[in-house]
Structure 1
Amino acid sequence: MAIKKQFLKSKPVCKVTFTLPMEEAKNAAVIGSFNEWDQKATPLKKLKNGTFKTTVDLETSNSYEFRYVVDGTTYLNEEQADSYAWNDYAGAENSVLSL
């Protein structure tokens, strides 16, 4: 798993690339406070090497909670998250991205 942040000089936006190595998975998505936790809003594209990847433009000066969803049922946190936050609704921690 990996997160890459690319801050833009021209506007208050950061291009965030989410990478998830999951060769055995059929599909994956990133859900979070930036897309209203919608599994269909931000799918990850499966590359030939079995890694899933997508890039999202997010407003800077914010924090976002997120998780990965693999095959619609498995929820994973990002190992390289800036921090983690407990979520009572899910009964689990969410990854936090601070921009």
Structure 2
Amino acid sequence: MAIKKQYLKSKPVCKVTFSVPADEAKNVVVLGSFNEWNTQKATKLKKLKNGIFKGTVDLEKDNSYEFKYLVDGTSYINDEHADAYAWNDFAGAENSVIKL
């Protein structure tokens, strides 16, 4: 897994690219505080030929966001390269955190 941050000079935005290796998966989405944890608004990651799912989200800088990956609609996973982790009582587990 990997997270790439690209800050824009012209806007207060950071392009965040999420990469998830998941050869066996059919689909991977990113859910988080930036899309209200709503599966309908989730950012779908595109599967590349090498088995890595990749996608980019524009997020407002000077904020932090909690997120998780949802693999095949059943498994929630954290990103091992997250900036931090935050406990979530609702889920009873930690969420990944990205700080911009």
* TM-score under structure 2 length normalisation: 0.96
Cα deviation 1:49-81 (Å, max 9, x = unaligned): 111000000000100000000000100000110
Cα deviation 1:2-22 (Å, max 9, x = unaligned): 000000111100000000000
Structure 1 residue 48 displacement after superposition: 1.0
Moved over 2 A (4+): none
Provide the identity percentage.
73
Query: 1:27 maps to which residue?
Result: 27
Query: 1:36 maps to which residue?
Result: 36
Map 1:13-92 onto structure 2 (within 5 A): 13-41=13-41, 42-92=43-93
State the number of aligned residues: 99
Whether the 8 Å contact between 1:5 and 1:17 is mirrored in structure 2 is yes
Structure 1 residue 40 displacement after superposition: 3.4
Q: Identify unmatched segments of 5+ residues in structure 1.
A: none
Q: CA RMSD in A?
A: 0.7
* TM-score under structure 1 length normalisation: 0.97
Distance in 1 of aligned mates of 2:52 and 2:64? 25
